[in-house]
Each structure stands twice: as structure tokens, then as C-alpha cells.
Amino acid sequence: KNQVEQSPQSLIILEGKNCTLQCNYTVSPFSNLRWYKQDTGRGPVSLTIMTFSENTKSNGRYTATLDADTKQSSLHITASQLSDSASYICVVSALSSASKIIFGSGTRLSIRP
Amino acid sequence: NAGVTQTPKFQVLKTGQSMTLQCAQDMNHNSMYWYRQDPGMGLRLIYYSASEGTTDKGEVPNGYNVSRLNKREFSLRLESAAPSQTSVYFCASSGLINQPQHFGDGTRLSIL
């Protein structure tokens, strides 16, 4: 069964600290992995997308890594800011099929001043 | 700079009532999607349209119908609303099926 599991479910850190969010998946055949940020009351916004051949991609203070062998990804946030408070969703896509775009349930990140 | 626009933003219905959720995108995207988001769960695909003139079922299509009116617009219809359909509904679009999706800000629907 195609699944995407994220950990932790929620996380609280102090402003300025770094954090790492985890994503494990069993989606096959793998096409790409995306990280989205979802602010409260808004739709998800794409942060990064990685294909099989990419093992790291950055977007400002966000760095995503991918290990296709172990089927794991992480999202590292550096020097967190209050605006980073949001849910972060890992999404894994199988080859060319909308019905095989699998969303994780997200990690709820809260940044405290 | 609208992107994906959903209407309405909020709606309360009684069981058995019908309604249509509207979605429009201005990015000239081929593919459009409808998802529902429930607490503690990932987004689940209801229906999608890979291109104008086509629609296909997703993971949870029961109780819903869709219409791809033209390349810009993709509507979702609840014919006879049930309390189990209380959720936040998101419309999304992408250039092609496997490209990053752009989401609207959702319609919060409550069925009493």
C-alpha cells in the first residue's frame, strides 16, 4: 500500500533554532517528492520538489534531502522565524498518475519567541 | 496574480441540500484537482481532470460529481450533502499531472 508517514506530528521550538522534519514513504514506482508549507487557513504552498536523482535541494532557509534507497526524506529549517509556524506536508508521487500523489498528514511546527 | 480562486470560502448546509463549489485558475494549467482535508489526515483526492474535457475519480469520489467547464474552471458538486462531507475542500492546478500543484485557500464546509 502506498503510504507517506511524517514525524513528529507536532514540534515546538524557540525562534532562531534549527529543526528537522522527517518523512518516510512506501510509494512505488517513485517519481518525485515534494515538501509543502501550509499556513493556518490557507492552501499548501510548494517549497521543494526532488526527483530520484536529486538528494538535496534548498529554498532559502529550507533544505530538503532525499535518500531514495531507504525511502526517507527530511526538511531542515535553519534559523527559524515566527513566520515558519505552519504545517509542513510531505507529498510523494508515483509515475504520472494523479491518483498516486500521496499526501502525508503533516508536521505542525510552532515557533515561540 | 490570483492563481487558484475558490468560492465560497465558507458554507453551512443542512443534510440533503445540494451545492456546487467553484474553482478557477489563471495560470493556463492543464490539470486540475479537488481534495478534501480532514483533521489528522493527509489531503485525499476526490476527482481530478488531467486536461480539458476529461475527468477521473480519485480516492474518495462517492457523493461528489465534477465538471471541467473549460480550461480555467473545475467545479465540485454535492448532490445530497451528508454530515460525513463536513471538511475543508481544496482545489489545485498544475501544468501537467506530475508537476507541482498550486492550491487555492479552501472552502470550509459544514453539514448539519
* pLDDT at residue A98, as a whole number: 67
The three cell numbers locating residue B1: 496574480
**Least confident among B13-27, B60-74, B95-109:** B95-109
Q: Tell if the CB–CB gap between A34 and B100 is shorter than 8 Å.
A: yes
- Spacing of C-alpha B23 from chain mean position: 7
Per-position DSSP letters for B43-110, written without gaps between them: -EEEEEESSTT--EE-S--TTEEEEE-SSSBEEEEESS--GGG-EEEEEEEESSTTSPPEE---EEEE
* pLDDT at residue A96, as a whole number: 62
Beta-ladder partners of A5: A24
Q: Among partner residues A31, A93, A103, which is closest to B42 by beta-carbon distance?
A: A103
* pLDDT at residue A28, as a whole number: 83
Residues of B near A (CB-CB distance < 8 A)? 4, 31, 33, 35, 40-45, 48, 50, 56-59, 90, 92, 97-98, 100-106
**Interval A38-65: pLDDT, tens:** 999 999 999 999 998 899 999 999 999 9
